[in-house]
A and B are shown apart, each in its own frame.
Chain A
Amino acid sequence: MKNQVSVEVHNLTVSYDGGPVLWDIDFELPQGQIIGIIGPNGSGKTTLLKSIMGLVEPSSGFVKIYDKNLDDVRERVAYVPQRESVDWDFPASVFDVVMMGRYRKKNLLKRTNKADVEIVNQSIEKVGLTEFKNRQISQLSGGQQQRVFIARALAQKADLYLMDEPFVGVDAATESSILALLQEMKADGKTVLIIHHDLQTVSEYFDYLVLLNTRLIAKGNLQEVLTKENLSNAYGGQLTLLSKVVDLIKKTEFPIREKDVDL
């Protein structure tokens, strides 16, 4: 079974300024699936992804990827940060940014070679931005910018992809193009870990879920995770969300007794 594990996290605790953001998180994730990380705002989703990517120093615990330390498998992991985390007025073209996916320790001081250019062009093609290849990133729509980030990750030719909120603020065209791409990646045996906050769409997007609220609430396939108990554990007393939870349970065709739902 060990070789079927993509990411494993053990006893991971991360805290900023006193309070813990993640508390004793412990899980193993399968390979070749599209995995959603869900949970309310401030539940530590981004911090979890950053810890896996080594961008945040944990207070305790450790992460392994394909049963190895991150530094030994760097080139098999690609990271897509939140779109808002960078300044899109930066003077660079789509091609420039996607090319950053080919940067490595070895080649950082060298010129880019033909093979890299080829890979970058293919990646841009895959997200449907070929006609915008030379456009400056400040002149793209939000959805197009998101696709630039995804193309950059594709150019890394990784096996594991970590994406922070790729569906936020994107248009319908981008959403469906990302979804199609995800299916393609899954068919190629890639593992994709995606932070997502919209409960309504969870059941359409993912094969596997991690439900988080500082602690790990649940993980597993959709039926295992999307129970009323788990969701109310994660979302607690957030009344507006509780109604969404009810919708969600209806959608996933869980037996529901209206009497029990306290709105």
Chain B
Amino acid sequence: MAKTITEAQKQEKIAALHEKRDALSLLLRDAKRTHERDSLIAKIETIDEKIKKVRTGEILTRQEKRNLVAYSFIAPNFIGFAIFTLGPIIFAFVLAFMRWDGNSPMKFVGLKNFIDMIGNARFHSSFVNTIVYCIATVPLTLASALGLAVVLNQKIKGRNFFRTVGFFPYVASLVAVAAVWNMLFSPQKSGPVNMILYNLGVHAKSLPKWSADPHWVMFTIVLFSVWKNMGYYMVIYLAGLQGINAELYEAAGLDGCNSWQRFRYITWPQLQPTTFFVTIILTINCFKVYDIVYMLAGGSNGIVSSQAMVLVYHIYEEAFRNWNLGYSSAVAMVLFLMVLAITLVQFRGEKKYAN
């Protein structure tokens, strides 16, 4: 890059840059809005840098050097992120309008995948099941997490121990805890839970078959999900509870409020932003449910019946069992739109609670 320029060329360049700079300064004098002024000032600064660059004959201006340093910080993560996350996301949007089995060339089919979806019974049940799962799991998890948090926010002995216990199912490996659940809720009469029910006087014939029973399988999944995840939301609620001003409770104590009244008129309204946030996160996580269903209802071959299958399972089976990659991406778009809708609600809510 030994590009030498004569002194005259240099002066000419500098003069041209100065001219530009003067024009911008004039604009700046007239500019009224702050963001307009800011962008003009930035432009002038860039020109100043360029003038300096020409004058000193350096290859890079200071700002350019700074940019490069910053990019070197970002690059390791961003390159990985762009290739393995951003790329596939864009690909997913394209794929939803294609027909592809992974080997033969892709073919554009317009909205056909979406039309196929409407007529597909397995899509119907997976969609309905996801919604049912969500409607059952969200309020139950919310209530148990809140209850647990309120109890564990009291000054009691061994509080930290109880918190750890409440949280542990959340970090425990799903495969391992699902294995225990499958044994505890074994469909046979000899299963521990069924044995307890039997001894409590439930007739042997009417004992639930849990995950082996089409009517009980969703209930079993919901129960397990609440048990496994409530600890996580409890932690969020505990943080929310610690943010409540203690003076409010003192005032309530002076007014002679009982525990219920304190919960009803102080804790609950004060926790509203937390509850909102927990509801959002919970709903999104419910939409994404897959592995719980796979473990509890998948049996030994991993095939889930139509009473328990959820959207992500439908995506999985269409893609990796039937190799309908385009169709499965169309189903993924439905999942995306559901999550997007909830995220938009979240953004609106955040604005509301920020004020």
A and B bound?
Answer: no
